[in-house]
Amino acid sequence: MNEEAKINMGKIAALKTMRNKVLELSQIFEELGEPILTDLALLPTIHEAYKRVYARRGCPQDAMLVRNRKKFIMVVLYLYSPKALAGDRMRMGLRKIISELFGLTTSTPISDNSASLIIEYNAYADFRRDVDLILNEVFEALPDESFVFD
């Protein structure tokens, strides 16, 4: 090097600014990702609310499999683990309880069904309508003190 070496203070300042932005975004992510429900013991009640939506339509029990199960999973993730809908990890224990509610011996279908939920919600009006119906049924079924609203 022919020139004198100097510390690039512009680079340091940019790094500091970026670090502060990352911390701020991380804090916002955590705040937005706070669950609406925390008590996993409410999941059977939520499952019953889900089943009522389809019972009112006269749907047979087997009609509630796969595609309709995805709707239930979407509601549960929104309530208990919204960050999972954004690609983060699902809350510990949630996958197992959902599997049990559907009589599954493994939680793999729950993971598999979770991958495309946001795409389906945004792309398909009937999927979105049903998810919103289930969510409203859940809100009606649970006591107000169950929810963790700011």
Q: How do residues 44-86 score in pLDDT, each as one tens digit?
A: 999 999 988 888 877 766 655 666 889 999 999 999 999 999 9
Q: How confident is the model at residue 114 (pLDDT cuts 50, 70, 90)?
A: confident
pLDDT at 150 over 80: no
Mean pLDDT value across the chain: 88
Tell me, what's the pLDDT at 64?
Answer: 56
Q: Is there a contact between 40 and 80 (Cβ–Cβ < 8 Å)?
A: yes
Tell me, what's the pLDDT at 132?
Answer: 96
Helices 125-141, 43-56: axis angle to 10 degrees equals 120
Q: Where are the domains of the chain?
A: 40-146
* Structure token digits, residue 148: 């963790």
